[in-house]
Amino acid sequence: MSIDVLKKLFEEHWRLPVQKVEPLQGQLGGSGRNIIRLAGGGITAVGILYDVREENTAFLEFSRHFRRHGLPVPEIYAADLDHGAYLEEDLGNTTLFELLSGNRAGEDIAPQVVEAYRTVAGILPRFQVEAGKDLNYRACYPRRSFDRQSISWDLNYFKYYFLKLAGIPFNEQALEDDFGRLTRFLLSAPRDYFLYRDFQSRNVMLRNGQPFFLDYQGGRKGALHYDIASLLYDAKADLPAALRQHLLEQYLDSLGHYIELNREAFMRHYYAFVYIRIMQALGAYGFRGFYERKPHFLQSVPFALKNLRWLLQHVDLPVALPTLMAAFKNMVESEKLQGLASFALVAHQTQSRPAPASTTGEQGLAVKIFSFSYHQGGPPKDDAGHGGGFVFDARGLPNPGREERYKALTGRDAPVIDYLEQHETVHKFLADATSMVDASISTYQQRGFNHLMVSFGCTGGQHRSVYLAEQVAKHLAGKPGIRVALRHLQLEKMIGEKTA
């Protein structure tokens, strides 16, 4: 996706040339969107480049709907959905999180920050109830409601990308039984409201002291509890318990203006939603930090554990979840996880440095990763004489190639990635494959081997195998003493045929 598309939108909308382009986020964020400020003729706007059309459509539709209800969200100036681009109002540089970070000393938080949080908590019911009544929920992506499937995705995200990668022991069937009980309990709460989904301090901009709201494109119909839990248990914000309670009361007071509120009934479900929001966040930290090896995401883990410790000490849920609670206790007692903040900071500061030489030799362990087609060519031949390493057969996974909208895409394209990551079987396959590869790499390095092949095959060599190879390559990138080489054999063949 090209910045030229954003420049064209800017110039067509204002009839002015773009004089300055400033990237605002890049790859540090967790969404994958490129966020760019454009300026010209004394006018600024924020441009978004993102290639998931359904998500862009949801954001644009919701933005216009919320503005019709008088809610403080950015104005949409122009959009080109065919190229994954749109322009929105520039709301400045100060998030609620940045205001908090710059105006606190430990648990002593400045009055203007508390007041900003009070305002934000008080506005939330307008999104959930007032604007939620006539919202077009058909625009929601990827689900229209926070239903059983949505909850399952979050719970499995936590299981596969945090618990397993962090090495927390658990009985898989007993944990699944707990997940089932938790899901049924969550779904017993009233859920005919707009669920913002990512209502947290980095998604609130402050301009002239007034809050404006962003990143609601994942919104859907759901329960009231989830969003206020997201705000108050936002890990790195690390709000003191007394302030969380004060802001919860502020939210409930405001909510009472829009619905007939039974506070006791609300609180019966509230902390279960706090737990699932924390699990969803930990899954994201694990995926970005442990799996994609972006260490700055791991800095939030100790703060999430602090929230879990408080919950374990002060909250009794009205549903029994013994295996899940045991896993939480193991997490908060883990010295490894508690040390992640300092480790992640050091890793982030040194991540651009070259990896040290390995004891396997001056060049380290070469890990060659391939994707291939079983129908056209089969597994790659071993050119190093070591027997070929791993060959993983992905043909048993859900196949996006059977759907017309994905046929021209590959496993590197966001819509295909999103399709695959919605299936638990894909997460399990990837976690198991990664675990086996990691174990072999450790042994190979200890024994002085210098070559390992890892191959993923599927029917056409275009979607599933490409996705899996890409994910494992990302996981291994930057590990000390490893050189990763990635090839997509069938894609190379297709490109050769097109250019011949």
The domains of the chain are located at: 3-89, 96-347, 365-499
In angstroms, the Cα distances linking 249 to 115, 180, 200, 310 are 14, 30, 17, 19
The 10s digit of each residue's pLDDT in 72-103 is: 999 999 999 999 999 999 999 999 999 999 99
Helix axes 322-332, 301-314, angle to 10 degrees: 130
| Distance (Å, whole) CA 440 – CA 446 | 10
Q: What's the CATH number for 3-89?
A: 3.30.200.20
User: Which residues, other chains included, contact 26 with Cβ-Cβ below 8 Å and sequence gap of 6+?
Assistant: 34
Helices (H) and strands (E) counted in the chain, each on its own, are 18, 15
Q: Is the pTM of this model over 0.85?
A: no
Beta bridge partners of 88: 46, 76
pLDDT of res. 76: 98
Beta bridge partners of 488: 371
Does CATH place domain 96-347 in 3.90.10.10? no
pLDDT of res. 171: 96
Low-confidence ranges of the chain (pLDDT < 70): 1, 25-31, 339-363, 384-388, 495-500
pLDDT of res. 26: 42
pLDDT of res. 386: 65
| Distance (Å, whole) CA 247 – CA 251 | 6
CB 498 within 8 A of CB 409: no
How many Cβ atoms sit within 10 Å of the Cβ of residue 286?
24
